[in-house]
Structure 1
Amino acid sequence: MTRALHLVACALVVSSLFAVVAPGSAAPPPRPLCDACGESFEETAEAHDLSVAVERSTATVSVARNGTATWVVRNRLADAGSAATLREDDALRTEIAERAMWDAEFVGANVSERVLTLRYREPEFAEESVGGTLRSGEFTDAYGYRNLHGLGADRLVVVAPEEMVIGKPVGGATVSEDGRRMVLTSFEERGFVTFVPRASAFGPLLSLLAVGTLVAPRVGGTLVVALFPTALFGLLVGVVGAFASRSPRLTARVGESAGIVLVAGGLVLTGGALVAGGGLSLLGGSAAPLFGVGATAVVFGALLRRPDLRARATYRRLVAVGAVGVALAAGTTLAGALAFDQLTYSLLSSLPPLVAVFALFPAGYAFGRGNRRLGVATAAVGFALSALPFASLLSPTRGVGPFAVALLAAYVGVLAGVGTPLLVVGASLAESPGGDAGAPPDGDRPAAAME
């Protein structure tokens, strides 16, 4: 038994190290829609040792028929001294202006009194689509390596090309009566913008088609990202669960010491998470979820040392216990992250997989009762729920390549490995005296063996 506990502990450590470096959500630093406006411009100037304060910032974006946009940004400066510095120092003015709008080509800049006017050219602001329409993804994070945060300007105006009107504006924008100008004073909603021919009687339909023809082909990629790992997770859990259900000696031995197994594994996880969070900068705050899982495993293990609780285990009760485990692990994780000052977006994005891990507790019980279909379904539903916060058909992926598939497969394998002790312990509880038919057999084992 000591050797078995050592093997479980080693497996948990290895799985934990892989889990904390599993694929996560990464994003570039947030930036406003207009980089050269307002506070963003102030930060750029500060990086060049010039302190400026922008009283008011406006931007006008004029779109040409080929999709190229010309930006005209006007920043009214509060200090006449900084305005004079920019007016007299051409090199400094040009250097700051070129850095201010990183994704557009700098054209020119000049200062009149206290107003700094910046001009840029953006060749791919919009692209041609069906029926002579133009479609712009400038106002959405879905397509491209972007992380938009705010408008930047106090007022931003988008002017449609000649003989065209705004077909689909951004939510919250105001469109002029002639349809050529879209005005934004805040940027709360993301979305595509379309420009349609003024003479067309099917403007709304053309806008719908322009966006649909871009989104539809990529929805398949999103479905692959969502369905492939879910199916793979169910397959891996099915293999392990089938092995456990066909190894009565293994489940019987684990059942006798289920509490000890979970306590030992939990201590390994909490200790490893503390070491990683305190000393290994490579792992950083992403190790905190292991602390929550370990602490929860210790609590469950202590409770399962009582024979009367093991005897009262049912599928439905373990589903509830799994939900409590997710809440407890998440709460402990957040507490640990606050204690070590590691509460980050990366850490928060690592919490949903806890659902998949603790779903293996009732899944294991279903396997132990001989109901493999329910066991696989429980694991698959748990994984799907854990992936739900990251899946959106409105923000589809650009594509799923072999490397992405390999990363997904590795992530699924590690997640299944981390939850395997819960799966095996759950299966062992089904062998305890008093287990009911909460997970009825599906014919994989004789009915008499289930009772």
Structure 2
Amino acid sequence: MRPPHAAIAVVALLLLVPVFAPAPAAAPPPEGVCGVCGPGFERAAEDAGVNVTVAESQLVVRVDDDGDSRWTATVEVNPEAADEFTTNHSLLDRVVRATFDSSRTVVDEPRDLTAQVHDRTLVIQWTVPDAAHRRTGDVLLFDVFTQDQGEGEAYVDADRVAVRGPEHRVVTHAPDGGTIRGSIVSWADTDAGSYHPDLGRHATIAFAPDGGLVAQTATALAVRGHSLAMVEPDLRAYAQWPALLLGLVATGLLLAGGHLTFEDGAARRVVYAILATAGCLVTLGAGGALLGGEWGELAFVFALESVGLAPAAVLTAAIVTLAERVDPDPGPRATTVAAIVAVGWPLVLVLGAPGSAVLVLLLGPLAFLAYGVLAGAGHPARWLFPPVAALGAVVAALPFVPRIGVVFVTPGLFAALLVGSALLGVPLFALGRCLGGQRTAHPDGPDGSRTTSV
């Protein structure tokens, strides 16, 4: 006997819970940019049987034009610890080495490591080769502070930190909270409101020949390219399949869009479909919340899906309803406006990323309307639709990578959100194609009225 359709649907929903449900991803502890300048050094000394208190510390990083760097940490400690390190220099070497081996510093393998004691002051020096890399536009990008997903975010663990680039360069990009003076960017633990120790995960510093527009543009491209490279695995997990799917949907609409029409009553059908879908999501979500267990996780998924699609659904319903009631005349400039939107939309997405991701989730169906107008008019810019649709998926995924802590929006849920947004865009594409067809229609039909070729 064949199982009932309802049972099949229930089993399918339960199987999809692991795909859409929130998933934990352990966030690693933060890592100090100096290591021997603060708590990390004190912990390593305590493990070695030495009671160390760091009174004051500073780190100076000198970056050469070839990309190598020399790091100098100056650490003032309590007199008892200084005396013990003076009489037992090998103990100081062991504590310094243990600090770097603790995986709580951004530098894991320092080269040419030396440590000296001058009264109460420890002077620790090391080198980091290939600390900076030359990018397009002669931009030197210092990326030692940058952390990947498996490492904690970088933070300032000294009273003062300064990164000095080559003399003939200027700092054109640095993490927030620092003070830039020529080729030097510094952080100081003062009462200034702009200072904060957290540098973030993408704490790159860029040195350019000058601070002009060309150098700033090259710096922005270098920093953004480096950030994308760091999150590339997670970004691919989120955006690969949605980008491919949206590109195929856009291609299908362009090739087969002539079969789509926006007839009388279309607006009502679209609004009814949106309301019915919203009702199903709310009903399933409420029911799952009452049942608990795996159903509770599924209810959470439905709630996120409803919240994510609500703005685009309201926008779509409002546009199609207005179009049916007003009977719009696109006018002679409709195609030009649509072409400007079609070209400007990807520029806004790229230049505004990752903040522009919200535009994809909230206003994504509007792009379907513009490209529908171009398709109806036969404008060549319509072929931008597939790559731009795929680009939208990539941009929309940027705020969700890297995956750290509890991941509420999983790749599966993200894909469902974009697919839902694309489905909302289909009636807008049909409306746009109708408007574009009116633009190319013959204005003088048999009865003197306009005929539309759709």
**What is the TM-score with the length of structure 1 in the denominator?**
0.50
Does the 8 Å contact 1:59/1:73 carry over to 2? yes
Does the 8 Å contact 1:59/1:157 carry over to 2? yes
Which residue is 2:56 aligned to?
Answer: 56
Describe the shift of the 1:11–1:441 C-alpha distance in structure 2 as closer, same or farther (beyond 3 A): farther
Describe the shift of the 1:387–1:268 C-alpha distance in structure 2 as closer, same or farther (beyond 3 A): farther
Describe the shift of the 1:210–1:368 C-alpha distance in structure 2 as closer, same or farther (beyond 3 A): closer
Residue deviations 1:282-322 (CA, integer Å, cap 9, x gap): xxxxx967532236779999x9xxxxx899734699xxxxx
2:303 to 278, 287, 291: 291
Residue deviations 1:94-153 (CA, integer Å, cap 9, x gap): 33312434242362324444323322232333568999x994614764999987644433
1:236 to 220, 227, 248: 248
Report how far residue 262 of structure 1 moved: 2.9
Q: Distance in 2 between matches of 1:215 and 1:192?
A: 11
Please show how residues 1-400 of structure 1 align to structure 2 within 5 Å: 17-18=18-19, 30-42=30-42, 44-45=44-45, 52-61=52-61, 68-77=68-77, 79-87=78-86, 92-101=91-100, 102-105=108-111, 107-126=113-132, 135=140, 137-138=142-143, 141=146, 149-156=154-161, 165-169=167-171, 172-174=179-181, 182=184, 184-186=186-188, 190-193=204-207, 204=210, 232=244, 234-238=246-250, 258-268=274-284, 291-294=303-306, 313-314=321-322, 356=360, 359=363, 380=388, 384=392, 387=395, 390=398
- SS of the residue 2:31 aligns to: coil
Which residue is 2:335 aligned to?
Answer: none
Unaligned 5+ residue runs, structure 2? 101-107, 189-194, 326-352, 400-409, 442-449
Which residue is 1:329 aligned to?
Answer: none
Q: Percent identity?
A: 17
Q: CA RMSD in A?
A: 6.7
Describe the shift of the 1:450–1:35 C-alpha distance in structure 2 as closer, same or farther (beyond 3 A): farther
What amino acid sits opposite 2:158 in the alignment? A
State which drifts further: 269-278 or 36-45: 269-278
Report how far residue 73 of structure 1 moved: 1.4
Does the 8 Å contact 1:314/1:439 carry over to 2? no
What amino acid sits opposite 1:191 in the alignment? I
Describe the shift of the 1:60–1:53 C-alpha distance in structure 2 as closer, same or farther (beyond 3 A): same
Does the 8 Å contact 2:311/2:362 carry over to 1? no
- SS of the residue 1:120 aligns to: strand
Does the 8 Å contact 1:267/1:298 carry over to 2? no
Report how far residue 56 of structure 1 moved: 0.9
Report how far residue 185 of structure 1 moved: 4.0
Q: Distance in 1 between matches of 2:219 and 2:169?
A: 16
Describe the shift of the 1:221–1:385 C-alpha distance in structure 2 as closer, same or farther (beyond 3 A): same
- SS of the residue 1:237 aligns to: helix
Q: Distance in 2 between matches of 1:288 and 1:423?
A: 22
Q: Distance in 1 between matches of 2:207 and 2:319?
A: 61
Residue deviations 1:180-212 (CA, integer Å, cap 9, x gap): xx4734488852236xxxxxxxx6599x88995
- Equivalent residues, number: 359
**What is the TM-score with the length of structure 2 in the denominator?**
0.50
What amino acid sits opposite 1:172 in the alignment? T
Q: Distance in 2 between matches of 1:190 and 1:153?
A: 18
Describe the shift of the 1:231–1:260 C-alpha distance in structure 2 as closer, same or farther (beyond 3 A): closer
- SS of the residue 2:321 aligns to: coil
Which residue is 2:104 aligned to?
Answer: none
Report how far residue 390 of structure 1 moved: 3.5
